[in-house]
Structure 1
Amino acid sequence: MDSFNDYNQTPRPVRKKFAKPPVKVACLPCRASRTRCGGQMPCSNCVNKDKECSYLPSKRGGPRKKKEKSSLSPEREQTDDPYAAVPSPEFEEQPGMFHQIDELSLPGAGLRHLDFQSEMPIFQGFFTGDGNESHMQVPPIPPSLNSTQSFVRTYGSEAEILNAYYDFIHNYFPILPPRASPPCRDRPLNCPVPCSDSSEPMMMYRPRSPLSLAISAVLALIPHPSDLDPASAASILQRRTYAHSFAQLANSTIEAECDLDLSSTDPGQALSATRPFVGRERFHSQTPVDYESLLALLVLSVYEYSQRGNLLKMRYRAGQALAIALDKSLHAQVVNDEFAEARRRAWWMTYYCVIQGSIVSTTMPAIVINDPQFTTPYPSFASDTEGWSILIQAQQVLVSATQFIGDLNKCLASQSGMYYMFERMQQLDSWTSSVLAQVELLPLVPQSSDFGDHNESITAQTIRSIARIKLSSAQIKTHRFRAFSDIPIFLKRHCDLTAANQNNPNSPLPKPPGIHNISCTCSNLDTFQRAASSEYMTPSDSSTSSDIHPDMTHYAPQYTQYPFASGFPYSTQQSAKICLEAALVISRMFHSLPVPQPLSDARQRRQPLPRTMPSFACCLMQSSYAMFMIYYKARVAKQLSPDAGNERGGDSTGQLIEELRQGLERIIAAVSNYSLAFEALDGMRDEIEGAYKTAFPMAPPV
């Protein structure tokens, strides 16, 4: 026993873990053996083991760098990449463009995520798969910029926050009934805030409701009218800090209001107790207080996507709102009283956000989209009785098109079930066209209606535009494989697909030497064979249909297709035409969305105001992706027909390229407007702009 005590009392040297911090770059032998490197040249490990010590810079971490032009000689480029042998020297740099185009179609493409300081593979492939895309990191704010002062958009009362909600949010995200009082002048607090890294910034007024807190998180991202340099790093940091503080306060308030008093003192009786009573005043006079936590979660869901770039939290917040909505039976409400419109909007906006989370993350919806238990009537606009119905139908079409892409990928991988996919494609296209026809119809306005609030009629128009954007995005998702699978470089470089197998004699072009599995982490189709199978064929072949657009027939170079290609219900030209028209419509609809116009003096109007709540920004990426692919087809057609400039076909090719350029400029302008407030969309803007500058190097800045 004494020896045991003596052993315990014997002082032992304390080993400090990482007393000396690890070096930033380890040598190659140490990295290979997972041994801690000293960082010298040569390092002590290599000296002791008599190994050659060499270093290469690490590629991990740091901001994403723009792709650089290849420095290889023309002879080397032709040897390594047979697809670069296009019959025109003008097209030598196009493979570089495809590196940029690939990423535009991925879920969460371009999003910067502020919640992760290192590269994390959180985005899945466009179809299915594990995706390992790295995204931009948030650059640190230099300490020298923290000594100045900036302005952040905050408000001094619940009424002013509610008024700002209608000015900046309601038109794009109508979670509340129409205004209950006339609009007031927008009056954010005109107090400069000291710049600091504090996680708890000073607030002149703390909102009382979780909904007003969540709305304040979005409003804080909008540049303050008195901020002379809203694009400065210091201003961006302060807006980010205040916004996230409001969001965290909203979450904590939601948790507090969902707690049962007996949970901490008598858990056995907690479940049988009544729901906690919320005694504060309503944020909106026609919305019950106990709906405010649900509505706050919907706002936070969009905040997590567009500001934090966090798809997981986006879906989580929407899922929390869904749980509250189902608990309150909002999905089956038929009572008509003063709160009927609030209940309807609360339910259908919850439904909308849950489906949106599924769309942007390419995951299965948490609900059955056409569940017969969802019997709550749609909300209503006095100026457009069908607006809400069209929006929900568009959401259903888009999520179905997203699921179609995943199922198509599985069928290609298993080489089975293509006949079923052909039928699905026709059904989706027919469904989309049916809802599009409803969108194009003028709203049925009751003759005796009195709109009262002009803002609400603008909201109705915006809802129709958003529905049109979603339906056009669904068209691109439905037709993009058929439209672009005739491009060999598309099959080689596109993350969703794969190149032809090098052992198959039917492949249009052989794989370059030394490359055996051309694929990426977005999918695992590198073993896909072009084996003929009767299952791939359909009784009819509409690829020779006479209704192909005359201006699109010469934009699709004819290469060897898959053996089941003739079974598609649409020709390559037809699908390409649909993608083109849909992409241009998306660019026009985003351009037509209203810009906030709060009541303010001329001084406050000197800076552009951003649109808000861009939960459907992924449609921007779909549009730009389709336009770049059509641009490629047009460029190839133009180069394969050098004398086409003297004919009508050459003129139309130039007109098409010009129309694509203008469409891409509208897309860049739209995402740039959003990124005035939402940092996660900076990456989207940079991705599209980078591809645009590659495609149109001589074009003036957008």
Structure 2
Amino acid sequence: MSQAKRAVKKMSMPPAKLACLHCRASRTRCDGKLPCHNCEIRARDCSFVPSKRGGSRKRRVQRKSASESEASRSPSSHLLTPKSIEHFINPGAGLRRPETIGEQQSLCAKSETLSVTESIDDHCARIYNSEQAVLNAYYIFLHQYFPILPPPKTRPTLDCPIQWPLSAAEKMIPHQSISPLSLALSAVLALIPLSQETRCTAAACVSFRKALAQKFSQAALQRIDADSEYLDFISDRQIGSMAAVEQLSTSRDPLHPQTPVELESILALLLLSNYEHTERANSLKMTARASQALIIAKNMFLHRLGLENDTFSEAKRRAWWMAYFCAHLCSVVRQSACLNVDDDSHFTTPYPRLESNPEAWLIFLEALRIGVASVKFTASYNKHLSSHADMSRIFEQMKMLDKWVLQVSVRIESYVPVSSSMELDPAYESATAEVMRRLARIRLSRYLCF
């Protein structure tokens, strides 16, 4: 065979710009397709990562962009790149800036405004026309993940939001509550699409749900300010907080029969702190709401409760430990010092009751304490590293932190359910305990990977 024919045969299948991982490992020619021919005939997963080798120096920038565009064909390739996850270790835990979210929504809304506005009356918002309907929706959608209220005596009934069209809801809200807790719950519930909503992911519908939730949030903050001023005015003239509550409760009934009116502002602030964190990505307002709730809880001495078991004891325990949880969560998210939380040895308030899973609250909070300890350890490590100080103390702290993580992990995995009466622990409270344990396991998994 002549040299010219050999050259033609050699170039009949030009080399691919990017080979898959299996072909690169076995030094086999890859056709660059997804999946490639070699992986397809061998029935194995085919994945690509950007290549950083080869090519001339003059065209290195162009080759890099070509590799990135080639790698984008594989949906899992970006997961293999460390740069795609490195932002999760920064303050904010990977949350996008609020203005970035708004810009993306406005861009999406431009392309769908015409098609959505034509049938906007066909879409409804999740709004409730009574306090009991709001409370019932809380136990259906939120209680398992954010247990700020005691469990009810009976199971929740069927969820019944009113059919309120978006065009009407833009002008007014049918049910204006005077309870800050009811308004805060309505803000979070407004973000949940209705089951019959056919275009719940449309940009216009999503934007409206966010705007409606913000209206409820602002209304809740106004009621919190009004209640706090009234409580301060009464507390200057009465001894003890219960006297203030008795006068405040004359203006409205409590939302939950086992939760006194004085706790509603605290619980509303905790909900709004979580709302600012998960929905609006505003860590500053998240911290402000949690800090205000923690201050009010301490002023009511909710952290110094005893073993009393009255009508409101369970609600007070949950109010305090959820305020404690949100304060520590702010520390983990912002990678900074914890919010004015004293040494845990100063707290005498027992953990809330979960009959079927007595250790759920302890493990749930212990995993978060490990997160705060890791933030402090990272700050200490960076300080010693920059100052070239002796690292022996840092290594001892690392060993203690590892031991702590392993101990809590063992307690999570060695869980044995405890049978309980239906009256004290309904089925959804068992689900709440299971969610708390799973969240603790997720938090600890990031430490066990290192």
Report the TM-score when normalising by structure 2.
0.76
> Counterpart of 2:439 in structure 1: which amino acid?
I
Does residue 255 in structure 1 map to residue 225 in structure 2? yes
1:230-269 to 2 correspondences below 5 Å: 230-260=200-230
Q: Name the counterpart of 2:248.
A: 277
Q: Name the counterpart of 2:176.
A: 206
| 1:76 maps to which of 33, 57, 81 | 57
| 2:291 maps to which of 319, 323, 330 | 319
Residue 198 of structure 2 aligns to a residue whose secondary structure is coil
Q: Name the counterpart of 1:328.
A: 300
Deviations 1:622-643 (A, max 9, x none): xxxxxxxxxxxxxxxxxxxxxx
Deviations 1:230-253 (A, max 9, x none): 011110111011100000000000
Higher relative contact order (CA 8 A, sep 6+): 1
| 2:134 maps to which of 154, 161, 186 | 161
Q: Name the counterpart of 1:107.
A: 91
Q: Name the counterpart of 1:227.
A: 197
Q: Name the counterpart of 1:383.
A: 356
> Counterpart of 1:337 in structure 2: which amino acid?
D
Deviations 1:553-596 (A, max 9, x none): xxxxxxxxxxxxxxxxxxxxxxxxx33xxxxxxxxxxxxxxxxx
| 2:334 maps to which of 333, 358, 361 | 361
Q: Name the counterpart of 1:189.
A: 162
> Counterpart of 1:254 in structure 2: which amino acid?
I
Does residue 308 in structure 1 map to residue 280 in structure 2? yes
1:171-570 to 2 correspondences below 5 Å: 171-194=144-167, 201-260=171-230, 272-274=236-238, 275=244, 277-279=248-250, 280-334=252-306, 335-368=308-341, 370-443=343-416, 445=418, 452-473=425-446, 475=447
Q: 1:173 to 1:442 in 2, by over 3 A?
A: same
Q: 1:450 to 1:286 in 2, by over 3 A?
A: closer
Contact 1:112 1:137 in 2 (8 A): no
Report the Cα offset of residue 336 of structure 1.
1.9
Deviations 1:651-686 (A, max 9, x none): xxxxxxxxxxxxxxxxxxxxxxxxxxxxxxxxxxxx
Deviations 1:171-203 (A, max 9, x none): 01100001133310011112212189x6xx421
Contact 2:354 2:425 in 1 (8 A): no
Deviations 1:532-564 (A, max 9, x none): xxxxxxxxxxxxxxxxxxxxxxxxxxxxxxxxx
Report the TM-score when normalising by structure 1.
0.49
Q: 1:100 to 1:169 in 2, by over 3 A?
A: same
Whole-angstrom CA distance in 2 between matches of 1:95 and 1:453: 40
Whole-angstrom CA distance in 1 between matches of 2:199 and 2:214: 21
Work out the number of aligned pairs and report it.
375
Q: What 5-or-longer segments of structure 1 have no aligned partner? A: 1-68, 84-88, 118-134, 264-269, 477-577, 580-702
Whole-angstrom CA distance in 1 between matches of 2:347 and 2:281: 30
Q: Name the counterpart of 1:496.
A: none
Whole-angstrom CA distance in 1 between matches of 2:220 and 2:342: 29
Residue 125 of structure 2 aligns to a residue whose secondary structure is coil
Contact 2:356 2:425 in 1 (8 A): no
Q: 1:187 to 1:271 in 2, by over 3 A?
A: closer
Deviations 1:119-155 (A, max 9, x none): xxxxxxxxxxxxxxxx884432336455533321111
Q: Name the counterpart of 2:105.
A: 139
Contact 1:382 1:449 in 2 (8 A): no
Q: 1:437 to 1:96 in 2, by over 3 A?
A: closer
Residue 74 of structure 1 aligns to a residue whose secondary structure is coil
Deviations 1:269-319 (A, max 9, x none): x87334462321111111111101100000000000111110001011000
Deviations 1:372-411 (A, max 9, x none): 2211001111101111111111111111012211221222
Residue 153 of structure 1 aligns to a residue whose secondary structure is strand
Whole-angstrom CA distance in 1 between matches of 2:150 and 2:79: 51
Report the Cα offset of residue 76 of structure 1.
2.1
> Counterpart of 1:233 in structure 2: which amino acid?
A
How well do the aligned residues superpose, as a CA RMSD in angstroms? 3.2
Whole-angstrom CA distance in 2 between matches of 1:226 and 1:95: 35
Whole-angstrom CA distance in 2 between matches of 1:443 and 1:369: 33
Report the Cα offset of residue 443 of structure 1.
3.5
> Counterpart of 2:85 in structure 1: which amino acid?
I
Contact 2:105 2:203 in 1 (8 A): no
